[in-house]
Amino acid sequence: MIRSVRKYLLYFSGLFFLGLGIAGYILPGLPGTIFLIISASCFVRSNDRMYRWVTEHRIFGKLIKNYLETGSMPLRAKVISVFFIWVFTAVSLWVPEYNYLFKIPIVSLAIIGTWYILSRTSSTGSGGND
């Protein structure tokens, strides 16, 4: 019983993140690939058909499958990601109403995100739309 509940929770979580991921490919400012990776991770434990659909999709499947199997990212995606991390961090720091209780965690998360992205190996291929 617990396994079936867990399976359904993972399936519905996968659908939720799939929706966010697809929206991220359409809406500017919303990342798509990370939500598709989370979606595929949920589906691999709950629904093989949906996992195959995400990882074999003609637009984003190759990127998702490559990341899940190797942990690598296309160089273009790494450059774009790090660039936008620091653009939005700078915009957040520029708001004068926020004090250091806000700014220190923002810079810390930007550093952690940058370190994580740069620690991934670079692969060849398209960086996707985000």
Q: pLDDT, tens digit, for every residue of 38-57?
A: 999 999 999 999 999 999 99
Highest mean pLDDT among 35-44, 69-78, 95-104: 35-44
Domain match, 99 and 47 both: no
- Residue 12 near residue 19 (C-beta atoms within 8 A): no
Of 20, 30, 28, the C-alpha closest to 40 is 20
For residues 49 and 95, the model is more confident at: 49
Domain assignment of residue 36, given as a range: 1-71
| Residues 6 or more apart in contact with residue 21 via CB below 8 angstroms | 32, 33, 34, 35, 36, 38, 39, 60
SS3 (DSSP) at 3: helix
Residue 130 has pLDDT above 60, yes or no: no
Q: Are 4 and 45 in contact, with CB atoms under 8 Å apart?
A: no
Q: Are residues 66 and 3 in the same domain?
A: yes
Residues 67 and 78 in one domain: no
| pTM for the predicted model, two decimal places | 0.73
The pLDDT-based confidence of 125 (bands split at 50, 70, 90) is low
Same domain for 52 and 12, yes or no, is yes
